[in-house]
Structure 1
Amino acid sequence: MLPSEPKIFHGRESELSDILHLFDTRIPRIAILGAGGMGKTSLARVVLHHSDITARYAQNRFFVACTSATTKLELVNLIGEHLGLEPSKDLTQTVLQHLLSNPPSLLILDELEALWEPTSSRGGIEELLSLLTSITMRGAEHPAKVKWTRPFLRALQPLDQQAARLTFADIADSGHSQEEVDQILSLTDNMPLAISLLAHLADTEGCSAVLSCWDKENTSLISEGSDKRSNLDLSISLSLSSPRMQLFPQSQELLSLLSMLPDGLADVDLIQSKLPLENILKCKTVLKATALAYSDENKRLKVLMPIREYLQQHQPPTDHLVQSLLKYLAEMLKYYAEYTGTKSSSSTILRIKSNLTNIQNVLQWGL
């Protein structure tokens, strides 16, 4: 049975249009990527039920949730089950033969990241993907060995403000103060999952109560149950525990430090701060590949508000790491004080302006 089409869907019209255009190719292979809670599955479900897709594939549309599979063989057998094939120890050839001998099918593999991330199983999964089609997975990196249809889809970004407001209003109705709604949205950085959870809470408790409780509970306010679609903390923790993050533990340390830096860090800051982290640019690459961090329009490495809140509560940065950054920022301010009014101070002024909130937070930490 196919999952239902989402009733609330705002702000992904451009991505939807891009995906539908990719279906103009004979055998589209499409990856919908993005951070946990960014709406990848919802977008895939909208595609699944779009009139163009139903007209093209009719009953040959399949949606496979991959979370229960732990090996390539289990994944193949799970696909076979959705295709209605007789159970067998290894259905690989049977699945491929079925797809080749029947009318064109749309096969969506949802939440594939847990299977693809481990290096031990990655090669086999990529070989299988090269023969199949659409996937959704958390992260920002396309699996290799697959001839993905071009142009690639950009990893899903937070919703724009208008789409975020519409999403909130569809869930919590429109009788709330716009100022309070915008305050709540600012806590989410317009991450769809966080918007949905807080809007449902506001619908029953009111915006004022939600804002008051957030000051005390942060992300734990919307983190109940064992389903990551209704538990923000669980969704974030799944990303943090990915094999790649485990393989590069210093990436976790950098992420924890970024949790107290709303301004993010530019590459020049990462390098010149001389943080006690080996290969810090590799750490940056890992964080971006897992979509736990992103580069903004100014190429500063940042972390979304809900993830920052979670980290500050559960995995705050070590004192040693913050002290290293504090020393760097203090030297920057000292340099400006010594050379203010000279040409050499202009670039320092720009760097200070780019780090104003960071400086404030780090100084408050040191008090």
Structure 2
Amino acid sequence: MIASATPPLPLVFTGRDDLVDQGVDILCNQALRFLAILGAGGMGKTSLALHIIHRPAVKQKFGQRCHFLPCDIFENAEALTQGLISIMKIMLQENQGKQEALFNYLKATQHDLLIIFDNFETPWNNHGSRTDIRNLVEKIAGCERVSIIVTMRGPHGPGEIPWKALGDDSGIPQLSPAAANEAFKAFAGPKVESSETSDSLISQLMYELDYIPLAIKLSAYHARKISLDTLTEMWKNYKTGMLRDATTQDSRSTSVEFSINLSIQLLHENQNSIQLLSILSFLPNGVPFWESNLNQMISKSVQPSNGNWSLNISVLLDTSLIYIQNEGLRMLAPIREYIQSQYPTGQEIMDQLEIFYAQFLKDLPNNDMQAQPMLELHINNIEKILRAQIKSGHSKSSCVSAVFILYPFRRFASVSMSLIDLILEKDKKINKDDEVEFKLKKAKILRSMGRFQDAKDQVILQAQKYFKQSQNQRAQANSMRWLGNIYFRQDKYKEASEMISEAQQLFQKIGNELGVAECLKRLGDIYQMQGRNDEAIQMLSDALKQFQTFGNQMRAAECLLSLGELYRKQKKYDEATEMIMKAQTQSEEIGSKQGVANCLRTLGRIYMDQTQYDEAVGMFSDAQIQYQNIRRIVDAAWCYQYLGTTYRLQGQYEKAKEALTETLELLKGFPGEKYKIGWTLLEFGHLLFDMEDFIEARRKYEEARNVFDSHGQLEKDVDRCSRALAKLDETIEQ
């Protein structure tokens, strides 16, 4: 019975070497005797224990005296004692009790001995025998040559024993994304071939499964028979119901739902705990800073019978259905999905959660730098509750107002756009101006994502049509300005200039000075790109004065940045640096991370122009990190392009090649960025020319020319490529 319940050493085992090393070090080097492997079901606790005891150092210390006891088949102290006697092959003397025989054997041993209590939560949570279990395990720990490994669900090892736990405060962690992908492919076998498409599908599925080892293994078994696309659809439709091995009887190692149910059974039908579990399972972010937030989130709808949730939290922690991370209550994704399917959150709770988050959004600080970290802790909760309320039509507060608050946070642009789409689809009573305003905001998000055609065709033009039919001249002017901005981002400066100029006239007509200043700023940027530097400086200087009058620090900082860039082009480096430093200071004051990154990038260009290459590299690198942190991928890519150019000028060709390759890789997701893609290819051609790889240089020059030519309005850049090709031909002929 014990032999058949003891699992073999897992052959697929990835991403856990550090934990195994830590466990071996605890047992063999630190002279500590009690190792606890804690965590939720399916996290691979048993696998970890098996790999630890098979390490050479452990085998050398304990030899054949490693005794593995699968505790899920034992319910009380007497059964556990019998199990230990059986696996240690202890012979009972006449009239000798089982525990007497066990402890005589353990105390008499002259060599180090290791006992592995696997799945110890089964006997431990049998409340009728917990005292006997505690006494047994503590007496075993008192035998000086005995070491113990315990694997169990819960935050702490059993009894008053000085356990050393693997992992962090919440137990052993999930796999890393890379290890999860590797494990999935190993379990799935040769049917799953590595490609950009398949790797992307696997990565998304691993994210959905929260990188839990058991869920990864069981999902991979399906991939042996069906495509990854079908597997992804199965997860969407069946969730944890698909995470089982259909070829064998359900058990803790063959079914995620079975494993979760084992933990639920530990609650002994405690209704308060189950109700709290239902609430937590609805919240992807859990409850950040739960001690201060939990009661505010749900107190008006439900209260525990004893008036305090702390006891119920403690009970749930003991089951490992939840865990505490950074003072927040969390639940792993497959557990959330299953709990929600079995104990769905009621509408009264949903309404209370919506009210809490509507107030939370209103109370956010005005400073984005302070507000964004607070918002990030809750953003998935906010999206889920708002989507649920919009879909069901049960919204108790204005979801429209909530989205308007979320919209300025560019880091959460995808959330804003998702909610905007849902409101436009579901809310039949939405105010017409709000509807069109949402379409304009969606256009701005699409533009920032590089999806210029979508922004122009699907959103802005619809909004313009409405505004031209209405009397809302301010909205008309805004739609023209935003469409002009889209043309500007597409490097279509003629159309951009015409649209912005028309918007400026309309803003002047209605007396909207801020709108006029916005148009002056954009016209200055357009003239700068067209090489009309004196006109650009005049426009930007006028815009700067107006923004300063209005107290608009962000726009004033942007004007200073643009003026600095213009002075750089005129080789007035002292004036340029002065402007950029002012812009950086203002950006820091208002918490604009993008503004700071923009300034660092321009300072890098100033250093590069003056051949101060090391300083330039430092600035570009800092700017790239800042852009990556705020998800400005195109801007991060452009920093790599500047790094590539700088390295080339330094003669560091391999570094230059790496940087330019990274630029093109990042820009793959933004095919509308033809100017930047073309310039990167052109710079790559210059690099290969300097490396005297003329064949590849020609290819890059021709690719760059084709990209510029496909744009339709980058004739100067097409000519630049043609000149580069002509120079290449001259060099080859010499």
What number of residue pairs does the alignment pair up?
Answer: 358
Pair 1:69 & 2:74 matched: yes
Question: Hey, which of these two has a bigger chunk of helix by percent?
Answer: 2
Normalised TM-score (structure 1):
0.89
Q: Secondary structure, in 3 states, of the residue corresponding to 1:269?
A: helix
1:200-221 deviation per Cα after TM superposition (whole angstroms, max 9, x unaligned): 1112212111111122111101
| Structure 1 residue 288 displacement after superposition | 2.8
Q: Secondary structure, in 3 states, of the residue corresponding to 1:185?
A: helix
Mean CA deviation greater in 278-287 or 182-191: 278-287
Q: After superposition, where does 1:322-333 map in structure 2 within 5 Å?
A: 322-333=350-361
Pair 1:16 & 2:40 matched: no
Q: Which residue of 2 aligns with 1:299?
A: 327
Cα distance in 1 for residues equivalent to 2:331 and 2:165: 26
Pair 1:55 & 2:63 matched: no
Pair 1:364 & 2:392 matched: no
Task: Tell whether the 8 Å contact from 1:69 to 1:75 is kept in structure 2 after alignment.
Answer: yes
Pair 1:118 & 2:126 matched: yes
| Structure 1 residue 280 displacement after superposition | 2.2
Q: Which residue of 2 aligns with 1:209?
A: 230
Larger Rg: 2
Q: After superposition, where does 1:1-367 map in structure 2 within 5 Å?
A: 3-23=7-27, 24=29, 28-86=33-91, 90-102=97-109, 103-130=111-138, 131-132=140-141, 133-148=148-163, 150=164, 154=168, 155-173=171-189, 175-176=193-194, 177-223=198-244, 224=246, 225-242=249-266, 245-246=267-268, 248-266=270-288, 267=290, 268-275=292-299, 276-278=302-304, 279-296=308-325, 298-335=326-363, 341=366, 351-366=374-389, 367=392
Amino acid at match of 1:357: N
| Structure 1 residue 48 displacement after superposition | 1.9
Cα distance in 2 for residues equivalent to 1:165 and 1:319: 37
Mean CA deviation greater in 101-110 or 267-276: 267-276
Normalised TM-score (structure 2):
0.46
| Structure 1 residue 44 displacement after superposition | 0.7
Cα distance in 1 for residues equivalent to 2:159 and 2:150: 13
Task: Tell whether the 8 Å contact from 2:188 to 2:221 is kept in structure 1 after alignment.
Answer: yes
| Structure 1 residue 283 displacement after superposition | 2.9
Amino acid at match of 2:226: E
Q: 1:329–1:142: structure 2 CA closer, same or farther, 3 Å change rule?
A: same
Cα distance in 1 for residues equivalent to 2:176 and 2:201: 17
Task: Tell whether the 8 Å contact from 2:36 to 2:149 is kept in structure 1 after alignment.
Answer: yes
Task: Tell whether the 8 Å contact from 1:73 to 1:90 is kept in structure 2 after alignment.
Answer: no
Percent identity (aligned): 27
Q: 1:284–1:163: structure 2 CA closer, same or farther, 3 Å change rule?
A: same
Cα distance in 2 for residues equivalent to 1:353 and 1:12: 29
Amino acid at match of 1:134: I
Cα distance in 1 for residues equivalent to 2:210 and 2:262: 19
Task: Tell whether the 8 Å contact from 2:40 to 2:320 is kept in structure 1 after alignment.
Answer: yes
1:98-153 deviation per Cα after TM superposition (whole angstroms, max 9, x unaligned): 122233221111111011123432222122212142211112222122233x4765
Q: Secondary structure, in 3 states, of the residue corresponding to 1:197?
A: helix
Where does the alignment leave 5 or more consecutive residues of structure 2 unmatched? 142-147, 393-734
Task: Tell whether the 8 Å contact from 2:280 to 2:331 is kept in structure 1 after alignment.
Answer: yes
1:175-232 deviation per Cα after TM superposition (whole angstroms, max 9, x unaligned): 0410111121112100000011111111221211111112211110123432220111
Q: 1:69–1:3: structure 2 CA closer, same or farther, 3 Å change rule?
A: same
Q: Which residue of 1 aligns with 2:467?
A: none
Cα distance in 1 for residues equivalent to 2:21 and 2:121: 24
Amino acid at match of 2:342: H
Q: 1:89–1:254: structure 2 CA closer, same or farther, 3 Å change rule?
A: farther
Task: Tell whether the 8 Å contact from 2:41 to 2:259 is kept in structure 1 after alignment.
Answer: yes
**Once superposed, what is the RMSD of the aligned Cα atoms?**
2.5
Amino acid at match of 1:299: E
Amino acid at match of 2:193: G
Mean CA deviation greater in 115-124 or 191-200: 115-124
Cα distance in 2 for residues equivalent to 1:30 and 1:105: 14
| Structure 1 residue 258 displacement after superposition | 1.8
| Structure 1 residue 239 displacement after superposition | 0.9
Amino acid at match of 1:187: E
Cα distance in 1 for residues equivalent to 2:369 and 2:278: 30
Where does the alignment leave 5 or more consecutive residues of structure 1 unmatched? none
Task: Tell whether the 8 Å contact from 1:126 to 1:146 is kept in structure 2 after alignment.
Answer: no
Amino acid at match of 1:17: D
1:233-262 deviation per Cα after TM superposition (whole angstroms, max 9, x unaligned): 0001111111xx237532222221122211
Q: 1:93–1:153: structure 2 CA closer, same or farther, 3 Å change rule?
A: farther
Task: Tell whether the 8 Å contact from 2:46 to 2:151 is kept in structure 1 after alignment.
Answer: yes
Cα distance in 1 for residues equivalent to 2:229 and 2:165: 44
| Structure 1 residue 26 displacement after superposition | 5.1
Q: Which runs of 4+ in 1 moved over 6 A?
A: 345-349
Amino acid at match of 1:263: N
| Structure 1 residue 356 displacement after superposition | 2.5
